[in-house]
Structure 1
Amino acid sequence: MKLGYCTITWGGVVGHPAGVTSVKDLFYLTHGSMDGAVKDIAAAGYQGVEMFDGNLAEYRDKPEQLHSIMAESGVSLVSVYTGANFIYADILPDELHRIQQAAELAASFGAERLIVGGGARRAAGTTDQDYHRLGEALDTVIDIAEAAGLAASYHPHLGTIVESPAELDRLMPLTRIGFCPDTAHLAAGGADPAATIRKYRDRIHHVHLKDLHKETLSFLPLGQGELDFPEIVQAIKESGYDSWLMVELDEYGGDPRAAAEISRKYLEELL
């Protein structure tokens, strides 16, 4: 398996402010330097990176800058993360327009995969139809990704209508999209990550690894929290998945590169 790292740790996650009044512009962003993040990730010993769609969009008019830093660092852009509400019919075309932009841009930089999260929770409560709308939208995301030469995966996430094991089970029969297990988000939602990986072993197209302190729901470098990574890695191996393991850490109080090094050392010993 190959090891990659997500650039989110260099600045945390925000949404583009233009998205407040223009849904088509609501990209994910992290405020850190992507040039610095890529260099740190490479120095920490990883072979690939995952970026947010909004950060990648910053290189739309200066692609040579990102190509140069990737080449100099000896890493590749593996995947791009995006997301949407997906359940509101009126804004869905604009959301899919943005996702198409992200997919095409990702492909232009050599990425292999498009990772999506989402499925909004309504103030009035989630309806059965919301899951059907989400499933249908995710099937459209597959078509968008495949047209750009990418493989698409869905990432369950806290704050969406796919947090708990029951909610994931509700969605999965309604879409043909691949599954991106995120170990910490699954555990925070009440799932056993290894058991969930085994349950959907045939759907796994991408993997996010991060550790968790369950009481505080704090994300941590691998081996620093409470998750059973020997069992998780065993479940991944049993599934037949033998590709990129992307380490992710949404935020970290210390140095992002140091956190990346902690996780790489832990993973290499485990693997």
Structure 2
Amino acid sequence: MRLISVANAPVSFGVFELSDAPPPLTSAEMVSAIAGAGYEGIDLGPLGYLGTKDDLAERLDGLLLAGGWADLRYGDAGEFGKGLDALDATLEVFAAAPPAPDHLKPRPTLGCSGSPARFARPGGNAPGLEPGEWAGYASRVQEAVRRCRDAGFEPAFHHHLGTYVETPEDVERLLELTDVQLCLDTGHLLLAGGDPVTALRDWSGRIGHVHVKDGDRAILARALDDGVDLRELMGRGGFAPLGEGELDLPGVVRALEETGYTGWVIIEQDTLPGRRSVAQNITDQAANREKLRELGL
């Protein structure tokens, strides 16, 4: 049995929210492209894109469900409470996923809504939570963890640029205050001033999910100089195709193997709809899969 399997995600194709405008490609087209490139799984994407609990398994057409984003405002008790219904709805869809070995069961990815005043700075010096705010933040993360576990799923918290848990120091604090597993995202950590290879080793006992993405700090620096937001950073290519940014991809793969990681590795190349052609996105994700295959995954 393979202990690490590789998935991709709708965000790599510019699909991370549903609106009145149609997505750049249908879910069937995306599933076909991802399966054709040799991926074994896919992330859920925005709720409803890959179907409902009634038709999810059929629409995955042989792929496994690797995980899915659940966004909550942990920094605001009232808004956090309002978001729990959406978390529960996401968990209902997870329950309809195709059967998978225990280590490949889908992981709810607990994301934090952004801090309006926060965006990453090279070196990881962006302002975050005040010391007195951490206890409440952590307690709400723990509440989300409990709801996921009650539904039969082990979640993983996703540190993220432009949020309250962005820098390596933020991640350390969250791990101290909760028992949540971590979704280690190599691109977000790299652009927040961290070293993904070191993080994979230092936090190996708490890492339950891995997003592999590359990052370009020169594009980040220009974006910061221009005063644009995280969304525009994605549109400018801040998260590069694997091997075209600054990520030590061979080092990441070695660290996964040497620390005994088991579970999903999800390749992501966050982009905006319309910035790249569908054909280019499909080509990129096939090439990204081949990069990991060449390194033994």
When normalised by structure 2's length, the TM-score is: 0.79
Aligned to 1:117: 111
Structure 1 residues 237, 219: closer, same or farther in 2, change over 3 A?
A: same
| Code of the aligned partner of 1:245 | V
Counterpart AA for 2:244:
Q
Q: 2: distance between equivalents of 1:176 and 1:93?
A: 20
Tell me by how many angstroms 1:131 deviates: 2.4
Structure-1 residue corresponding to 2:183: 180
2: distance between equivalents of 1:55 and 1:11?
16
Report the AA paired with residue 225 of structure 1.
G
| Deviation (angstroms), 1:120 | 4.3
Counterpart residue identity of residue 6, structure 2 = L
**Letter of the aligned partner of 1:182 in structure 2?**
D
Gaps of 5+ in 1: 18-28
Displacement of 1:199 after TM fit? 1.2
| 2:45–2:69 CA contact under 8 A, matched in 1 | yes
Aligned-pair RMSD on alpha carbons? 2.3
Aligned to 1:102: 90
Q: CA deviation at 1:130?
A: 3.0
The one of 71, 81, 97 equivalent to 1:93 is 81
Q: Is 2:209 the partner of 1:206?
A: yes
Deviation at 1:122, TM superposition (A): 5.9
Q: Is the 8 A contact 1:188 1:214 kept in 2?
A: yes
- Using the TM superposition, give the Cα deviation of residue 30 of structure 1 relative to its aligned residue in structure 2, in angstroms: 6.5
In the alignment, the residues of structure 2 paired with residue 156 and residue 180 of structure 1 have an alpha-carbon distance, to the nearest angstrom, of 7
Instruction: Tell me the SS of whatever aligns to 2:265.
Output: strand
CA, structure 1 residues 117+233, in 2 after alignment: closer, same or farther (shift >3 Å)? same
2:32 to 39, 46, 53: 39
Contact 1:112 1:149 survives alignment (8 Å): no
Match of 1:253 in 2: 276
The answer to which of 101-110 and 170-179 deviates more is 101-110
Count matched residues.
255
Residue 219 of structure 2 is aligned to residue 226 of structure 1: no
Residue 88 of structure 1 aligns to which amino acid in structure 2?
D
Q: How far off is 1:129 after superposition?
A: 3.3
> In the aligned structure 2, how far is the partner of 1:219 from the partner of 1:130?
30
For the 8 Å contact 1:53–1:82, the answer to whether it is kept is no
Partner residue in 2 for 1:77: 65
Q: Is the CA contact (8 Å cut-off) linking 2:12 and 2:285 kept in structure 1?
A: no
Q: State how far apart, in whole Å, the 1-side matches of 2:284 and 2:57 are.
A: 25
Partner letter of residue 41 of structure 2?
G
What is residue 263 of structure 2 aligned with on the other side?
243
Contact 1:39 1:69 in 2 (8 A): no
Q: TM-score, normalised by structure 1?
A: 0.86
- Distance in 1 separating the partners of 2:295 and 2:281: 21
Q: Superposition pairs for residues 107-146 of structure 1, below 5 Å? A: 107-110=95-98, 112-118=106-112, 120-121=114-115, 123=117, 126-146=129-149
Shift of 1:133: 2.2
1:32, CA displacement in angstroms? 4.1
Instruction: After TM superposition, give the deviation of residue 157 of structure 1 in Å.
Output: 0.4
Contact kept? 1:47, 1:76, Cα under 8 Å: yes
Question: What is the CA-CA distance between 1:112 and the residue it aligns to?
Answer: 2.1
Q: 1:39 to 1:102 in 2, by over 3 A?
A: same
* Ranges in structure 2 where 5+ consecutive residues have no aligned partner: 99-104, 119-127, 221-237
